Amino acid sequence: MPKIIMGIESSCDETGVGLVRLHDDGAVELLADEVASSVDQHARFGGVVPEIASRAHMEAMVPTADRAFEKAGLKLSDVDAIAVTAGPGLSGALLVGVSAAKAYAAALGVPLYGVNHLAGHIAVDTLQHGPLPTPCLGLLVSGGHTQLLRIDDIASSITELGSTVDDAAGEAYDKVARVLGLPYPGGPPIDKAAKEGDPKAIAFPRGMTGPRDAKFDFSFSGLKTAVARWIEAAERRGDDIPVNDVAASFQEAVADVLTAKAVKAAKELGIDTMVISGGVAANSRLSGLAAERCEAAGITLRVPRPRLCTDNGAMIAALGAHVVAAGRPPSSLDLSANPALPV
Provide the minimum distance between the beta carbon of 80 and Zn ion in the complex, in angstroms, as a whole number: 25
Ligand-binding annotation for 99, yes or no, is no
Query: What's the count of helices (H) and strands (E) in the chain, helices before strands?
Result: 12, 10
When the beta carbons of 163 and 249 are compared against Zn ion, the nearer one is 163
8 A C-beta contact, residue 143 and residue 196? no
- 2 preceded by a cis bond (ω within 30 of 0): no
Q: What is the total residue count of the chain?
A: 343
Binding partner selected for residue 245 from ligand KG4, Zn ion, none, CB under the kind-specific 5 to 8 Å limit: none
Please report whether residue 125 would count as binding Zn ion according to CB under 5 A.
no
Single residue of 142, 147, 163, 277 touching Zn ion by CB under 5 A: 142
Q: Which residues contact 49 (CB under 8 A, 6 or more apart)?
A: 41, 42
Measured from the CB atom, is 7 or 144 closer to ligand KG4?
Answer: 144
Q: Which stretch binds Zn ion (CB under 5 A): 136-144, 208-216, 301-309, 332-340?
A: 136-144
Q: Among ligand KG4, Zn ion, none, what binds residue 111 when CB lies within 5 to 8 Å by partner kind?
A: none
Residue 3 vs 57, nearer CB to ligand KG4? 57
Question: Applying CB under 5 A, does 273 fall inside the site for Zn ion?
Answer: no
Tell me the closest approach of the beta carbon of residue 309 to ligand KG4, in angstroms. 6
Residues 191, 284: Cα–Cα separation, whole Å: 7
148 marked ligand binding residue: no
Nearer to ligand KG4, 188 or 242 (CB): 188
At residue 325, the 3 state secondary structure works out as helix
Buried b / exposed e across 90-129, counting CB within 10 Å, b at 16+?
bbbbbbbbbbbbbebbeebebbbbbbbbbbbbbbbbbbee
Q: Is 142 annotated as a binding residue?
A: yes
Q: Which residues, numbered 292-321, are part of the site for Zn ion (CB under 5 A)?
A: 311
State the binding partner of 197 from ligand KG4, Zn ion, none, CB within 5 to 8 A by kind: none
Kindly indicate which of the ranges 30-38, 137-145, 178-186, 211-219 contains the residues binding Zn ion, using the contact rule CB under 5 A. 137-145
- Shortest Cβ 27–ligand KG4 spacing (Å): 25
- Which CA distances in Å does 110 have to 64, 103, 166, 283, 324? 20, 11, 40, 39, 12
Identify the helix (H) or strand (E) that includes residue 102.
Answer: helix 91-108
* 256 makes contact with Zn ion (CB under 5 A): no
Pairing between β-strand 157-163 and β-strand 136-141 as defined by DSSP bridges: unpaired
Q: How many CB atoms lie within 10 A of CB 264?
A: 15
Was 191 annotated as part of a binding site? yes
**Distance (Å, whole) CA 272 – CA 301:** 9
CA–CA separation, 290 vs 130, rounded Å? 20
Given ligand KG4, Zn ion, none, residue 143, with its beta carbon under 5 to 8 Å by kind, binds ligand KG4
Residues binding ligand KG4 (CB under 6 A): 12, 142-144, 170, 173-174, 185-188, 191, 278-280, 282-283, 310-311
Residue 278 CB, shortest distance to Zn ion, in Å, is: 6
Describe the strand order of the beta sheet including 157-163 as a list of residue ranges.
157-163, 146-153, 136-141, 273-277, 300-302
Taking residue 159's Cβ as centre, other Cβ atoms within 10 Å add up to 11
By beta-carbon proximity to ligand KG4, the closer residue of 48 and 105 is 48
Q: Is 140 annotated as a binding residue?
A: yes
Binding-site positions for substrate: 140-144, 174, 187, 191, 283
**Residues within the annotated binding site for Fe cation?**
117, 121, 311
Binding residues for Zn ion (CB under 5 A): 142, 311
